[in-house]
Amino acid sequence: TARYFYKNKKDFNSLNFTNLSFIMFMFVIGGCFVFSCSGWISDRLFNKELSSELIFLSYLGGSGTRIFVYLHELLIAQERSKGYALLSIFQTTFYNFLSIFLIFGFSFGVEARIYSDLLRTVIVLLIAIILQIKYFKLSFSMKSLKWSINFSYPRLPSLMIGLFHQSFDKSMITNF
């Protein structure tokens, strides 16, 4: 999407809304799957050490983070480096301090990271939406969606591998 900020500014706001709508729709479908299978995931992958609720909350946090990354990267394309840097510093600092606070203040374990991630995601998503609001036009376009999918299709394998690595890392941390 960032490429089209310069290439086609006239249709960029519609493309941006279309992409974000599609991403959110896919996360809702994934969320329905995770919600319905979270008991099985807890049992098989995490030896029931993580509750199905935490697995679903972790999915929500991860989905929100991906949406945030989408909005955050647009700041680079818009040459708004100060906003990008401040948001990066804030989200990392807030996440780490909140995690430490929950671990030491309330004796949470893995839950501290999941709750911290979820809260941080909500806050930085709201900030990112406020920063990007003028770059959205409430107009869904199938033409823009096809165009965007064709452009982003080559990145799909690397994104899937990255998601697999993150899931594997969490599984290894929990089980070993």
What is the full per-residue pLDDT of the chain (176 aa) written as tens digits? 555 545 555 667 777 777 888 888 888 888 898 899 888 888 887 777 778 888 888 888 888 888 888 888 888 877 788 888 999 999 999 989 999 999 999 888 878 888 888 899 999 999 988 888 887 777 777 776 776 666 666 666 676 676 666 665 555 555 55
| Amino acid of residue 25 | F
pLDDT at residue 132, rounded to an integer: 84
Note the pLDDT of residue 25.
86
The whole-number pLDDT of residue 98 equals 92
| Residue 13 contacts residue 78 (beta carbons within 8 Å) | no
Contacts of 46 (CB under 8 A, 6+ apart): 55, 171, 174, 175
Cα–Cα dist 71/84, whole Å: 10
Give CA 163 to chain center in angstroms.
11
Reported pTM = 0.73
For residue 166, give the H/E element and its range: helix 156-175
